[in-house]
């Protein structure tokens, strides 16, 4: 269809052509292989979930909720709304609370739907993992290293880890003298990327002006930065000790494993459910995924309090970053019938199936289709294999398969 024509494709939705699909599958394979190597099992949750899963305080921020695709189902006369899954962690937590128990290592490749203006993508694919039923720094480290492993397998260069802790911002907001309602509003704004909140908090805490600048305005590198923050803030804000200690453990282990990481206090994302360390992965300047600990989420969903953490990698972004590799798939061999009569077509179809049974991908040549590798059926039943410019007569399917690189 010419570019000038009005597209029949919905705004914000995308088609993937074979080369793009091939890159997408490479991401998916690398991710799932890394997950399997670390003991994670694949799950799938429904595309449609109840809206109320996502509306409780501590799940999705109001701004995020305003972008979900919610509607009344065909049996929604009661007014109970459903949504196209806007993210995959909450549904996976729901699945766990309803169907599983004990430590569970789960992974998935799923699409999520969120409204975005103009031509921005409204359907994205996430490669995600959730570690539910076990928590603390060991779980956080397992996830960060799994993410780095999956990214490393794609050959896109070293990924950078940016770390934060949900407890840092929450402790500062509480100290700023905001009402619980005000704290919640400020946190929502911060999650939605409104960094002007930081200035407002700094104005309310003039005695902490310099330390807060160090915390919010400086994106530090590793344990050195963390030591500076502890020195500057802990005397005045001792409630920061638990989150800073957890971060120190993560940084120490990661540095010990030769992984550098950056620290950034306001690591904003529109998910309220994070309660502990949070992290993001970058390749160059590209944000390719992230996650964190969400120990309170299962309780909010009506289950018993359960430690949990997880992350997602953005499959669309990673597929776009991959070079257009040579396809793993060899172009199909075309089988050309001797004629269009029933006998000729049946013989060609039998030959095609015989080749497939010997590992050769093949299809009937339709409407003058041509390919580098073809098998021409002769009227007398003999076969002529063409490999580019070369033609060679063969006796039967086994010899044809052998010549085409399959099993004879």
DSSP, res 322: S
In the window 350-379, what residues touch other proteins (CB under 8 A)? none
At its nearest, how many Å lie between other proteins and the CB of residue 9? 13
At its nearest, how many Å lie between other proteins and the CB of residue 271? 14
Closest to other proteins by CB, 215 vs 300, is 300
Place of tokens 């992350």: 311
Q: Reduced to 3 DSSP states, what percent helix, strand and coil does the chain have, rounded to the nearest 5?
A: 40, 20, 40
In the window 174-193, what residues touch other proteins (CB under 8 A)? 181, 184-185
Site for other proteins contains 103 (CB under 8 A): no
3-state secondary structure 54-102: HHCCCCECHHHHCCCEEEECCCCCCCCEEEECCCCHHHHHHHHHHHCCC
Number of residues counted as binding other proteins (CB under 8 A): 21
Closest to other proteins by CB, 68 vs 159, is 68
Among 2, 3, 4, 6, contact with other proteins (rule: CB under 8 A): 6
DSSP, res 129: E
Closest to other proteins by CB, 304 vs 324, is 304
In the three-class reduction of DSSP (H, G, I as helix; E, B as strand; rest coil), residue 112 is classed as strand
CA distance 343 to 195: 74
What is the edge-to-edge ordering of all strands in the sheet holding 81-84? 48-50, 81-84, 69-72
Closest to other proteins by CB, 51 vs 394, is 51
Closest to other proteins by CB, 78 vs 196, is 78
At its nearest, how many Å lie between other proteins and the CB of residue 231? 36
In the window 109-148, what residues touch other proteins (CB under 8 A)? 117
CA distance 350 to 396: 11
Closest CA to 314 of 123, 106, 43, 125: 125
Closest CA to 156 of 398, 352, 320: 320
At its nearest, how many Å lie between other proteins and the CB of residue 168? 23
Closest to other proteins by CB, 164 vs 270, is 270
Closest CA to 347 of 331, 361, 336, 358: 336
At its nearest, how many Å lie between other proteins and the CB of residue 298? 15
At its nearest, how many Å lie between other proteins and the CB of residue 17? 25
Closest to other proteins by CB, 298 vs 352, is 298
Q: Are 230 and 237 in contact (CB under 8 A)?
A: no
At its nearest, how many Å lie between other proteins and the CB of residue 187? 12
At its nearest, how many Å lie between other proteins and the CB of residue 164? 23
Positive/negative CA dihedral, 275, 287, 312, 145:
negative
Q: Residue 135: left if φ>0, alpha if ψ -120 to 50, beta else—which one?
A: beta
Closest to other proteins by CB, 82 vs 251, is 82
In the three-class reduction of DSSP (H, G, I as helix; E, B as strand; rest coil), residue 50 is classed as strand
In the three-class reduction of DSSP (H, G, I as helix; E, B as strand; rest coil), residue 31 is classed as helix
Q: Where are the beta strands (DSSP E) in 245-389?
A: 261-263, 277-283, 286-293, 308-314, 333-336, 362-364, 373-377, 383-387
At its nearest, how many Å lie between other proteins and the CB of residue 181? 5
At its nearest, how many Å lie between other proteins and the CB of residue 70? 8
Residues 48-87, one symbol each (x = binds other proteins by CB under 8 A, - = not), give ----x--xxx----x--xx-----x-xxxxxxxx------
Closest to other proteins by CB, 68 vs 226, is 68
Closest to other proteins by CB, 22 vs 301, is 301
Q: Are 46 and 85 in contact (CB under 8 A)?
A: yes
Binding site for other proteins (CB under 8 A): 6, 52, 55-57, 62, 65-66, 72, 74-81, 117, 181, 184-185
């Amino acid at each position: 269809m010419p570019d000038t024509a009005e597209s029949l494709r919905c705004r914000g939705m995308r088609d993937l052509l074979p080369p793009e699909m091939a890159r997408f599958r490479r991401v998916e394979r690398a991710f799932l292989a890394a997950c399997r190597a670390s003991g994670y099992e694949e799950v799938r949750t429904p595309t449609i979930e109840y809206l109320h899963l996502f509306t409780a305080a501590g799940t999705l921020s109001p701004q995020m909720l305003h972008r979900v695709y919610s509607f009344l189902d065909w049996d929604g006369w009661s007014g109970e709304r459903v949504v196209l899954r806007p993210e995959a962690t909450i549904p996976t937590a729901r699945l766990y609370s309803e169907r599983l128990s004990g430590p569970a290592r789960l992974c998935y490749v799923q699409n999520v739907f969120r409204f975005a203006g103009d031509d921005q993508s409204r359907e994205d694919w996430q490669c995600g993992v959730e570690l539910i039923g076990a928590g603390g720094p060991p779980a956080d480290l397992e996830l960060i290293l799994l993410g780095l492993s999956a990214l490393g397998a794609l050959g896109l260069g070293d990924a950078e880890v940016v770390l934060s802790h949900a407890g840092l911002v929450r402790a500062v907001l509480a100290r700023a003298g905001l009402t619980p309602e005000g704290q919640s509003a400020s946190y929502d704004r911060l999650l939605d990327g409104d960094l002007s909140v930081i200035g407002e908090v700094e104005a309310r805490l003039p005695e902490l002006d310099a330390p807060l600048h160090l915390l919010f305005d400086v994106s530090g590198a590793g344990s050195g930065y963390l030591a500076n923050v502890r020195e500057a803030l802990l005397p005045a804000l001792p409630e920061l000790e638990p989150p800073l200690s957890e971060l120190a453990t993560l940084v120490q282990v990661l540095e010990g494993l030769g992984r550098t990481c950056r620290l950034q206090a306001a690591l904003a994302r529109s998910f309220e459910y994070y309660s502990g360390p949070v992290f993001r992965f970058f390749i160059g300047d590209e944000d390719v995924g992230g996650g964190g600990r969400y120990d309170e989420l299962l309780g909010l969903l009506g289950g018993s309090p359960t430690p949990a953490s997880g992350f997602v990698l953005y499959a669309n972004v990673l597929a776009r970053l991959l070079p257009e590799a040579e396809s793993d798939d060899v172009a199909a061999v075309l089988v050309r019938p001797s004629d269009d009569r029933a006998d000729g077509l049946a013989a060609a179809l039998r030959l095609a199936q015989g080749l497939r049974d010997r590992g050769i991908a093949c299809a009937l040549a339709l409407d003058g289709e041509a390919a580098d590798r073809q098998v021409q059926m002769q009227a007398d039943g003999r076969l002529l294999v063409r490999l580019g410019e070369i033609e060679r007569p063969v006796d039967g399917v086994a010899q044809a398969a052998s010549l085409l690189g399959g099993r004879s």
